[in-house]
Structures are given as C-alpha cells and as structure tokens.
Amino acid sequence: MFPLFNVLLAPFVPALWLYTLHRRFVQKKSAASFHGQWGKVSPAMREFGRQNGPKIWLHAVSVGETMAAKPIARALKNEIEGVQIALSSTTDTGHEIAESLLKNGEVDCAFYFALDLAPVQNRVLSALAPDAILFIETELWPNLLHLARRQSIPTFLVNGRVSDNLLKTAPKIGPIWRWMSGNISIFLMRGEDDAARLISLGVAPQKIKVTGDVKLEAPPISSEELRKVWRERLGLIENDKVLICGSTHAGEEEIFLRLAPKLTGWKIAFAPRHPNRFDEVAQLAEQAGFDVITRSSHKKWKPNSIFLLDSVGELGDFYALGDAAFVGGSLVSRGGHNLLEPILRGVPVVFGPFVHNFLAQRDLILQHQLGVQLQTETEIAAWLNALDFNRADFAQRVETALETHRGAAAKMARIIDEAIAKSRG
C-alpha cells in the first residue's frame, strides 16, 4: 500500500507547494510554519535526536490537542526516567502553546509538523530518532506511521477518540484505513464508546486499551485570584455579570449578539476559536450596535460594549472571569470543544446540541449539574437570566465529578514506558 499511496499522492504535491506558498505570503503565516511544513530540521531538533535517554515525539494538531499534551508530557516525565519530549503542532496557535511549554521546561523541543510526504517525514524522523511517537486524539498520518513501523518505532494514539467523521470516512477508504491503523502499535482510548467504535472499524481488540480522558482528570483550578485580576484589569464592578463565549465559530456570535438585549445585567465576551476571525467578529459586534473592547487594546470595559479576547492561549484563565460560559462549536455542527475548561475555573457552562466529539464530558457535566445543554436562543436567555449559583458549592461538585477520573495520563505513560523498554530490547 505504501508505494501505491505515494503514487496517488504525487500529482497533488505541486498543489501542496502552492497551498503552502499561499499560506506564507497571502495569509501571512509564519516563515517557521512554511519551512516546518517542508521538513526543515532545526538545530534544536538535531540536538534532541542526539540525546541518549528515551526520546518521545508527541504530536498535537492545534490549541486543544496541545493543551491536552500538557498532562501527558507531565506524566511521561514522572513515569519515565530521563525522558526527552519533542512536541510538534500543525497550526500557528498550537505552536505558540508548544513554545510556552518548551519555555516552562515541560517539553524539550517544539517544532512545526511536516507535510505527510515520505521524503519529508523521513528527514524529520531521522533527525529526531524517537523511541516512540504519540498522536493525540485523532491525528493519524499514513506515511509517518509506515516509516515508523519500518524502523520498529512504536506508535500510539493517545487520548484517542473516534469522531463521527472518521466513523463515516474509514469504511470509504477501507484499504488505506486498514494499512494506516495497522501501523499503530497501541490505541489508548479515552472511553469505552470510542474503543467500541474503533473495534467496529476493524481494529483488533488486543491493540486497544481504555486509559481514560486526560481532560477529565485535570484538577479544579483555584480561580478567585484569576477572577480578581481580570475584573480589575477590565474595570468591572461587583454587580457586573460576565458571559464568556469561548471557542466560537461563524454563526454563533450572531446568536449572542441578538440575545444581548434580552439578558439582564450581563456583559458578553467573545473568544473566537480561530484567530483569523478576530476582525470579522469585531465587525459583527459593531454592526449590531456595540462598541468593541479588545484584549490587545488594554482598555477598560465600557457600557454597551462587547469584549473580544484577541489573544492566543489565555482562554482557559479568562474563563475565571465569567459568571457563566458558553462553549462554541456546539450551536453549529462542529462537534463542540473542551466543555471542561470553564468548569475547571469554577464557572457553569451552557452548550448546544452539537457536542458529538465530547459526549463523555457532556454526560459528566449533566450528571453532576455543572451546566446545561440547550437547543434554542430562548432557552439560553431564560437559563442565564435565572442563573444563581453558589461558587463554593459548585467547586465541591466539580471536585466530586472529577475524582473518579484521576490517573489517565499516568496509565498512558506506564504503557508507553513498557513498549519503549520492549522495543529497545
């Protein structure tokens, strides 16, 4: 399958070249991103490859997966003596988070993920010389997986999930899916439902282990100080209630702009999922008759204004400012985003019907009454206007809800450690 796949891929290489040029010079993406996509090996990557200890390449596509990489990297450091971790990401925003983890000493190398072309990936693989490769959640790349298996490098899908899209697509690309999934050493899945879905796609049960969801094991974060800092920074008074609309997609901001006049005493903040929509969202708010205060302006929040978090990597802490949060990608059919981020900052959450990528989180939240799933604008307005919760009681319920999910990352790390030891002889 490897030769056939690359013969089929070859005609698309010129288009990929033009696409990356367009990203670099028209969309103004970083030069580092462009060079990384074509497999430029940095001195830091070469230095990583020369290390003697166990070396793990951890790949996370964007911000959400890169944030999930944090507890995994921490567990690997705790469980595997002398381990070195290289973290790759695909997007500029994901790379910014990866660079912050590098700066904090949580990983040892950060770089952009290369296009899945065999010569390109082979160059990166040779430079890094990893003892294992970990793909977070849904990221699988056929050529890299094949090259890793050929070099007897164990590969893992960690915190694995099977999206509705994969469930539909895998049968349509049967031979490629079987080749690709066959090259994964072990699937470490976040839940029984995802494991069952994987088995239905033909993966051998003995290659699957359910280790839990690392996003569910995160400890609640003390948010009072964060809340105080944000409120002082934005000039909010005691009675101001704030709704944080995080990770929003096109079509969702308009809903809350329409709702704003119906919400008694609430101020609204938007944190779009994609930074390239910052200007678009600001324009939408202005067209709806609101002033826009941006994070980058460092101005105080004024009456009749919408706040726009036009920064990357701050949303998690920014949720602490809220009295309620909406998690985007759920009122439009995107499958949702991490529903636990606001919960961990002591803030109840509302989300729409489209959370099929986060069903375990949804069930946990609804079971412990940490938020609501609503369908319509009218329902959302009614819930917000009636919301009255005790922060101390809410924090206790969060602690109770997460207690049974501790240790997922440590389980993953132990399994990976065993596999590395076995492969190294």
Q: Return the active site residues.
A: 65
Closest CA to 338 of 123, 329, 47: 329
Closest CA to 258 of 302, 288, 296: 288
Neighbouring C-beta atoms of residue 83, cutoff 10 Å? 22
Closest CA to 109 of 186, 34, 45: 45
Closest CA to 398 of 364, 374, 373: 364
| Rounded CA separation 196/216 (Å) | 20
Environment class of 312 (CB within 10 Å of its CB; exposed 0-12, middle 13-18, buried 19+): middle
Question: In this structure, what are the phi and psi dihedrals at residue 197, rounded to the nearest 5 degrees?
Answer: -60, -40
Tokens of 14: 């010129």
- Residue 75, amino acid: A
Please list, in sequence order, all residues whose beta carbon lies within 8 angstroms of the beta carbon of residue 73, skipping any fewer than 6 positions away.
58, 85, 87, 101, 106, 107
List b or e across 278-304, with b for residues whose CB sees 16 or more CB atoms inside 10 angstroms.
beebbebbeeeebebbebeeeeebeee
Q: How far is CA 316 from CA 63, 67, 221, 244, 332, in A?
A: 11, 10, 10, 11, 22
